Structure 1
Amino acid sequence: MTPNNNEGRQKVDISSSIRRNYHSLSEVQRRIADYILANGGHAMYLSITDLANTCGTSETTIMRFLRKIGFDSYQVFRVQLAQGMQDGKPKYAWSDIESSDSVGSIKEKVVSSTVSAIEDIRSLIPDAELELFSDLVLKASRVFIFGVGSSAYIAGDLFHKLIRLGLSACVCHDPHIMAIQSAQAREDDLFIFVSHSGESEVLLDCCKTVKERGGIPIAITSYPHSTLSELSRIQLLSSTNEMNYRPDAMTSRILQLVIIDLLTIVLTFKLGDRGIEAIAGSQIAVARQKR
């Protein structure tokens, strides 16, 4: 997020902004972020000096951290932190899984962190970007969806949703085939890249080729400042803090599936009767394969 001089008037979702920028924070700044996420109810009462002492850092570092998450004023940050409180409980409460946690505690932390991450989508994805993303899908002459590793399964889900709507799309997770398809990109071809990190060399090479050929690269990824985000026309972000003992960016994958669901519903309404008829026809075709 790029800070501006209007933060006093523009409300920032603190939890979402911290999650979105967490990967770019220094070790000390992450310590500040972790403290605020876990102790929002107490942090809102602290002066900048007290917060710096609590986190073992300096007031200057606190301000650097605040600018990264969208604030130029510590007082504005405190006010909005207080506004994020609900019924006396910190909206931003978050704690990682520990090896000593009970099964019940693990369940509560996993569910709470996932629900909180899904709620972040409200501020992570501006309406205008979702609108543009869906319009590009509908206007494209051809749609290619690329993903590797665990992202290949997310790409497959998007492919499944698009063809159910009667849209022409192709999904690929083979590096060689992706390279060939990218090299044959034409204007008005849309390439959707799915990647949690946004740093997969395979996808980055393809994205660069698509741009050189005049195609349109867009992305579903987690980090706004990743290389893939910088190369893409637009991005739908699925940024979140992952937890210990929860491998393969699992929460981000869940968010990406929610984003795909959201995109599908927007596309359905834009297609109108055509989309509804396509879904009905797809359901009948699948039903015929069942007993």
Structure 2
Amino acid sequence: MTRSMQRVAEAVAADPAGCAALTVTGLAELTGTSEATVVRTARLLGYPGYRDLRLALAGLAAQQQSGRAPSVTADIAVDDPIADVVAKLAYDEQQTLADTAAGLDTVQLAAAVTALAAARRIDVYGVGASGLVAQDLVQKLLRIGLVAHAHSDPHLAVTNAVQLRAKDVAIAITHSGSTGDVIEPLRVAFEHGATTVAITGRPDGAVTQYSDHVLTTSTARESELRPAAMSSRTSQLLVVDCLFIGVAQRTYETAAPALSASYEALAHRHRPRGGTKR
């Protein structure tokens, strides 16, 4: 550990109950470190993100006080009142965004933005819930005049990946980092010289071996009642928005007119045609 990480670890060891009550920002301020340092420390201690460390600290505090096994959990139970469901989901989403923002490598992000801004063509791969995020990114890029395609069909994805070259960019979105239908077209794109980017919750996942740039999201915990948890997509969408804004900044002279034109086209489409005078 670095000295700053040691301060975080010493703080949580000395006062698990007090630290469990703190947000990632609060713990960073308490220890005189940064939010990124807090998230890195949590990961080094074996937790996907600060949210998971915080829950473990709360459980440890409860165990110390009662002598019983910890029972603190963010999972939603079958008999939870709807008000508790809302509170738990909102808390989970907030922590996911905070963890993702704190742990996002801005050097990798900037490099990915540079590649996208100069790309001849952009292919985005994602299946299931990640496929929805892929479509969201492509829709944004199209509206600022870039050539982008979202592929959820693995056969079409590989077929298109074969056509990519050095000036192209391929992006794989996979929370687990091990989705074969996403990894395979990224591998093909990588081997054909395209710049490759992975958006994943597992920086050590198989997808990263074919990625020039890795953008890590917070690892959301899924349960029996929450398959494909919304927080997985929330963290991916945050990274997508960061990419889009970065590209729009780099290409502002062409992006701004293209965005205005798309707004105008949509507004025109929704204007009433004809109609009676009043």
Structure 2 length as normaliser, TM-score? 0.75
- 1:255 alignment partner in structure 2: 235
Cα distance in 1, alignment partners of residues 120 and 45 from structure 2? 33
Amino acid aligned to 2:42: S
For 1:113, give the aligned amino acid.
D
Q: How does 1:123-272 map to 2 (within 5 A)?
A: 123-244=102-223, 245-272=225-252
| Partner residue in 2 for 1:63 | none
SS in structure 2 opposite 1:188?
coil
Alignment deviations for residues 251-291 of structure 1 (CA, whole Å, 9 cap, x no partner)? 11112112212222222222223221111111011111113
Any conservation in 1 of the 2:42–2:48 contact (CA below 8 Å)?
Answer: no
Q: Which amino acid aligns with 2:77?
A: E
Preserved CA contact (<8 Å) 2:144 2:255: yes
1:56-71 aligned within 5 A: none
Structure 2 residue identity aligned to 1:257: L
User: Which sections of structure 2, spanning at least 5 residues, go unmatched?
Assistant: 8-32, 272-278
Tell me the SS of whatever aligns to 2:5: coil
Separation of aligned partners in 2, 1:39 and 1:283: 50
The aligned amino acid for 1:289 is R
CA distance in 2, matches of 1:216, 1:104: 46
C-alpha contact (below 8 Å) 1:146/1:173 kept by paired residues: yes
Contact 1:22 1:241 in 2 (8 A): no
Using the alignment, how far apart are the partners of 2:40 and 2:114 within structure 1?
30
Task: Indicate how the Cα distance of structure 1 residues 16 and 277 shifts in structure 2: closer, same or farther if over 3 A, else same.
Answer: farther
Corresponding letter in the other structure for 1:267: V
Aligned to 1:80: none
Q: Is 1:35 paired with 2:56? A: yes
Cα distance per residue 1:233-257 (max 9 Å; x no partner): 1122222332432221321111211
Matched-pair identity in %: 26
Residues 221, 20 of structure 1: alpha-carbon distance in 2 compared, 3 angstrom cutoff: farther
Alpha-carbon contact 2:222-2:228 (below 8 Å) kept: no
Task: Give the conservation status (yes or no) of the 8 Å contact 1:21–1:223.
Answer: no
AA of the residue aligned to 1:7: M
Matched position secondary structure for 2:270 = coil
2:42 is matched with 17
Equivalents in 1 of 2:190, 2:136: separation in Å?
25
- 1:33 Cα deviation after fit: 7.4
Q: Which residue of 1 aligns with 2:20?
A: none
| 21 and 136 in structure 1: CA distance in 2 versus 1, 3 angstrom threshold | farther
The range that moved more, 246-255 or 279-288, is 246-255
Q: Per the alignment, in what secondary structure is the counterpart of residue 265 of structure 2?
A: helix
Residue segments in structure 1 that go unaligned for 5+ positions in a row: 25-29, 57-92
Is 1:114 the equivalent of 2:93?
Answer: yes
Q: CA deviation at 1:118?
A: 0.8
Q: Which residue matches 2:14?
A: none
Q: Residue 97 of structure 1 contacts residue 243 of structure 1 at CA under 8 Å; is this kept in 2? A: no
SS in 2 for 1:288: helix
Shift of 1:21: 5.5
